[in-house]
Structures are given as structure tokens and as C-alpha cells.
Amino acid sequence: MSSERSAVAQLVITAVVRTFRVVDPASIDEQTTAQDVDGWDSLSHTMLLMEIETQLRCDLPLDEIYLASNVGELVDIATRARSASQT
Amino acid sequence: MGSTPQTLPGIFRHWSTTHGAQRFCTFLQRGAAETITFWDLAARSRGYAGALRSRGVRPGETVIVILPHSPHLFYAFCGALAAGAVASFMAFPSPKQDRARYVADHAKLFARIRPRAVVTDETSASALREALDALGIEVIIAGDALLHGDADEAEEIEPDDDAVAVLQHSSGTTGLKKGVMLTHRAIFAHARALNAALGITERDCIASWLPLYHDMGFVACFLGSLINGTPLVALDPFEWVARPALLFDAIEAHAATLCWLPNFAFSHLARTVPAGRRWDLRSVRAFINCSEPCKSATFARFAERFADSGVTPEQLTVSYAMAENVFGVTQTPLGASARVLRVDGDAFLAGRVAACDGGEGARTLLSCGPPLPGVELAVRTPDGDPATGGTIGEIHLRSPFLFSGYDNLPEQTARVLRDGWYASGDLGFIDTGELFVTGRVDDMIVVNGRNYYAHEIEDLLNDVPGLVPGRAVAFAIENRVADATGVAVAVEGVPDADDQTLIRLVKQRIFDALTLTLGSVSIVPRGAVFKTTSGKLDRKRNQQAYAPTPFEESM
């Protein structure tokens, strides 16, 4: 795993914990899905999206971001978007 | 509007002839804007009409349109109308929805409502065709090739005013959807009443992100523009949820004057639009809150957050609406803040209204306004008597544009439509001529403007492996992240079942069937789902025991 991806992964997991007010942060990892987190629906997903975009200072691609099946895929998308914004 | 045609195909042909170059719609998607004139709409719809007729669609038969956000939604729908068919929108499957179950559920529904054709896109066509072939239902793939249709088949049909024009399908479990039948006469009578209440003129412009399978997007926005000849600025609902500020970009760019939103959308905008961004929203004559309980606190937040964009409390209005009355039932007056009433909390819980100055337990209720011209309201007790003396009762209504019944469901129609009055199932009261809505007679829960029934959610969980059949209960909760109403369930699992697996199965089952994401799932021990002494699910008690956050019943 690249250090870039690791940094993004940490950021995304922190954003999930903060957005959905997860009581046990250790329960969130890259295998976590939206179904595992109370309150994670399409509306609140926007809050998460904005949190990640603010932290990364780049836009995430909407077509992909709503199809991510778990946190790990969100991290992949966010990592690619960040790299693209820096080139 | 009096001298213009009074049928839907007649009106868009009329605008095409008299105002052909005028904009019907600015269609926004992925940063691009496409202008559709009335001439474009009529010509392209004619193409669809020819194509539908050449596939065997005859006047009076039903055509269902199931498409993602695309101008073909308009062309296919108006094409069906131009062919003399009864047109209806249904929701396109979500990318995360199980397609096989979506198709199976719709096949069950279509076996009852027997449409002649379904217009969809190529990603859904083959699965639908496989399921619907045996029912003799044509599945037609939308696309530019249909815009030119078969000219010989594109004869113009002018339906009778009293013919059913459209079916509006209720939300909820697909197989149980009810098709609300609306005639051309009802649709135009409703438009006259709504226009009078809102003072709509051809100088208005509507901005909407609302899906067309929902009555607010369909009637208030799409049909409103079609009938009045006013432009519509249409955003992609999917894009709007992720980028709510797009709505304000559209309002500002097009100087939109009217914008319908369910309560959650006001909240979503106030919570998600980045601080520091400003627009000029002074062109808006009315933001209209309806389709779910309207909250004064949400209005206050919205007005405060966007004050520097020109939003004032006087722009924020409320409407009570339902498909069975075409759409609008009431509307608060323009240019004035919607009236707020504070009532005693204990009396409210006992089904009575007693005004108070606030204090502990007081409920704050937002007026939905007086009825539209021609609409009569009555609030009745369960015995059918007038609810008097500050008693909350069921809201009944009668109007010149009430629906003709539910398609192919005479018993369900007879249950709610009696002596010309429609029993809404909503609870409320009338105070100095204005309607206040306080809840539901039944177990319906409104989430993001869509209606779900707790018993339907519970029924869907009966066949989930690992759950005890008949031991699931659904109830409303507050989704504090999104500041909206949500739905939670408590279910009894069989011994040794893995809780995390069960939670995923339950959430997926409900999402596949209803495109509803459950706010929480509680796996509880055997016997822990509360029932009443008569053996019915005790939703109130289960809600108190298992809701992760307290739920406020008032508006």
C-alpha cells in the first residue's frame, strides 16, 4: 500500500467516524460497508463526501462515489481523485 | 388558460403552434445545459407516438416510462399522451438495487395493471422483456432513433376531457403500488386552482431537482410547465443529492421564481451548502415546502443560512398535497410567513389542540394554509362525525379535481372514496381556516418525501433467513446526521445467527424492495419484540425501546 493511499485511508475512515458519529471508531475499516453504519444513507453520504472533499481539497467523481461498495473502494476513488488533482 | 386546449396532448401541441420557439425546459446534467423548446417537445413526442402506435399501443392503453434522468423522459411520456395512451412514470432502478428483484417485483405489479408497453433504457430492457413477454407487454428501448418514429403512425389523437390521462403510482412496496387515475379534466381544473393560489403567470420559471415519478416533480413542476407554458429548469435528482448547491446555481442563472421542495431538502441545503457561498435568490417568489411534515425549525434554519443570498421568511411557504387530489390541497399565502401555532404538549398527545405560549412540552406546528379554490376540507372523528372543540381528526377532502379511483383496485378505492369525499389517512385540525397536519391514522412513515408503510416493511422481512417470521417491527426515527425522518426496525434473530450478517441482509432486503436505507437495525432476543394484548405489534412501545434517538411526532 502506498503511503499516499494510507494517508487517504486514514482520512476517509476518520471522516466516516465523524460524519456518522460512530461510537466505536475501531469498528470502521476498509471492509466496512454503508449497511454496517447506522444512518449512512444517500443523504448523509453527501455529508461524508463533502467532509472527504474538504480534507483532500479535490472533487470526487459522483458516478463512482455512489457505487463504492465499501470504505476501501471509497479510499481507492479518493486516492485517484487526489492524484489527478495534483497533476 | 381558459381558451387553450384542456387535454395534455392538446396543450403541448398548442404551445408548439403558438409559442414553438419558446423554452419548455432547460435540462441540466453533468455541467451541460440543453434547451428544449415547445416545438422540440411536440416534434420529438410525435416521434415517440408513432413508434408506440407501430408497436401496437392503442388509445386508452397504459404506457409506463422507466428511465434515468434524460430528456427522453419528457418525449416518451408526451409521446404516450399523443398516442392517446394513459402515461405513467415509475422509478428507474438504483445502481445498488438488486435488478433481478426489481424486475420480479415490477412483473408482479404489471400483471395487475397490464400496461401495453414499457419504455426503458437498454440497461434494463432485456431483463424486463424476459419477465414481461409472457404478459404481452412490449418493452421499448428509448433513444434518439424513436424521435422520428413512423410518420404514418403519428396521427394526432385528441382524447376526451374525461378520459384518464395519467396514472400516478404510490411509493412503497412495488407489487402493492396503487395507480391514482387522473383525468385531463381533473388535471386542468387543479392547474387553475394552483395557479390562482400562487398567481402563476407565463413570466414564472420553475427550478426543480425532483424526480418525475413523484407527484411534486411530476405535477407541480413538469405538468405545471407543460400546461402553463412556463419554462422548467430540470436538474438530475442524483446529482442534486450530492451537489445540493446546483439548485441555487440554476435558480440564479435562470431567475427562477418557483421552487417546490420537501422538508428534508430545505434541511439538506442548509446543512450541506458550504459556508461563504452566496447567490442571488431574490427572484424566487415562493419556495414551497410539501410532501412530508413541514417544520418551522427547518424554515428558520434555511432562512438564516441563506439570508445573505436574499432568502426571506416570506418566501418560505407550505402546501399540503397528495396525488389523489392531482397534487395541491392547500397553500399558505404568498408574501407572508407561514403561520406558526404553539400548542400544549399533553393535550396534543391526547388528540386535542390547546394553544399556548410555549413552555415545557409545547409543540410547534406550521400551518399548511387554506384550501385551494374549490377544495373543501373536513376533519372527522373515527365515527365520521365532525371533529369539534379542538379535537384532532382525520382530514377528508372534496374537490372538482379529485381522482377517479385507483387503477384496477375497486375495493381500495371504495375504502377511501365515499360520497365524493376522500379520506386522506392524515390527521390534523383546522384553525381559522388554515389546515394543520399532525400525523397519520395508519402506520405510514414519510421519508424524504416518499411514503412507506411499517407493515409492508415488516412483511418484507418475513422470508429473510435467520429471522423469526412475524417478529419484525418497523418504526420512525430521527436521522440526526441528515436531520430527517428515518425508519428503524427491530427483529428477532434465530439462535446462533450472526448479528452483523443479519443486519446486512435486512438492510439489503428493504433497499432492494423499496430503495429505502434503514437508519438502524436492532437484533433483539426471542420474545423481545413487543406485542399488544391482542397479539398485534406494539410499534409505539418498540419505538420507545429500540429507537436509537427519540422521535418527535409533531411537525
Is the pLDDT score of B149 beyond 80?
no
Cα torsion at B29, B34, B38, B39 (round to 10°)?
A: -140
Q: At B554, is the pLDDT very low, low, confident or very high (cuts 50, 70, 90)?
A: very low
What is the pTM for the complete model shown?
0.91
Residues B416, B482 within the same domain: no
Cβ–Cβ under 8 Å, residues A8 and A78: yes
Q: At B150, is the pLDDT very low, low, confident or very high (cuts 50, 70, 90)?
A: low
Is the pLDDT score of B3 beyond 90?
no
Domain positions in chain A are: 3-86
Residues B424, B458 within the same domain: no
Half-sphere exposure of B222 (CA within 13 A, CB side): 26
Cβ–Cβ under 8 Å, residues B150 and B171: no
Number of domains in chain B: 2
As a residue count, chain B comes to 555
Is the pLDDT score of B106 beyond 80?
yes
Residues 405-464 (B) with a CB less than 8 A from some CB of A: 448
Among candidate residues B440, B475, B501, the one where a domain is terminated: B440
Among candidate residues B412, B440, B468, the one where a domain is terminated: B440
Residues 27-66 (A) with a CB less than 8 A from some CB of B: 33-36, 38-47, 49-50, 62, 65-66
Query: Mean pLDDT throughout B505-519?
Result: 92
CATH of the domain at B373: 2.30.38.10
pLDDT of res. B96: 84
Could you count the other beta carbons within 10 Å of the beta carbon of residue B397?
Answer: 23
Could you count the other beta carbons within 10 Å of the beta carbon of residue B255?
Answer: 15
Digit-coded pLDDT (tens) for A5-53: 999 999 999 999 999 989 899 999 999 999 899 889 888 899 999 999 9
Average pLDDT, chain B: 93
| Cell numbers found for residue B479 | 436521522
Whole-angstrom Cα distance, residue B345 to residue B354?
9
Number of helices (H), then strands (E), belonging to chain B: the values are 17, 26
Digit-coded pLDDT (tens) for B240-299: 999 999 999 999 999 999 999 999 999 999 999 988 899 999 999 999 999 888 899 999
pLDDT of res. B496: 84
Q: How far apart are the first and last CA of chain B?
A: 36
Q: Which of B241, B243, B508 sits opposite A42 (nearest CB)?
A: B241
Cβ–Cβ under 8 Å, residues A36 and A22: no
| Structural domain for B409, as ranges | 338-440
Query: Mean pLDDT throughout B451-464?
Result: 91
The verdict on residue B521 lying in a domain is yes
Q: Do A40 and B517 touch (CB under 8 A)?
A: yes
Residues B344, B399 within the same domain: yes
Is the pLDDT score of B552 beyond 60?
no
The verdict on residue B108 lying in a domain is no
Please report the DSSP string for B118-145 in residue order: EEE-HHHHHHHHHHHGGGT-EEEE-SGG
By DSSP bridging, strand B232-234 and strand B23-29 are parallel
Residues B478, B532 within the same domain: yes
List phi, psi (to 5°) of B465. -60, 135
Beta-carbon contacts of B30 under 8 Å, excluding residues fewer than 6 positions away, are B236, B239
CATH number assigned to the domain covering A3-86: 1.10.1200.10
pLDDT of res. B480: 77
The verdict on residue B363 lying in a domain is yes
Residues B347, B435 within the same domain: yes
Among candidate residues B440, B474, B501, the one where a domain is terminated: B440
Residues B432, B410 within the same domain: yes
pLDDT of res. B555: 37
pLDDT of res. B325: 97
Residues B428, B495 within the same domain: no
CB-based burial label for B43 (10 Å; 0-12, 13-18, 19+): middle
Whole-angstrom Cα distance, residue B488 to residue B474?
6
| Cell numbers found for residue A85 | 488533482
Percent of chain B with pLDDT over 90: 80
The verdict on residue B257 lying in a domain is no
Chain A residues in contact with B68 (beta carbon < 8 A): none
The verdict on residue B430 lying in a domain is yes
CATH of the domain at B525: 3.30.300.30
Whole-angstrom Cα distance, residue B230 to residue B1?
12
Whole-angstrom Cα distance, residue B64 to residue B481?
36
User: Which residue on chain B is closest to A60 by alpha carbon?
Assistant: B242
Could you count the other beta carbons within 10 Å of the beta carbon of residue A2?
Answer: 9
- The arrangement of strands across the sheet holding B328-331 comes to B32-37, B23-29, B232-234, B206-208, B258-261, B286-289, B316-321, B328-331
Q: Do A66 and B500 touch (CB under 8 A)?
A: no
Digit-coded pLDDT (tens) for B33-55: 999 999 999 999 999 999 999 99
Q: What is the ipTM of this complex?
A: 0.87
Q: At B551, is the pLDDT very low, low, confident or very high (cuts 50, 70, 90)?
A: low
Residues B435, B450 within the same domain: no
pLDDT of res. A1: 58
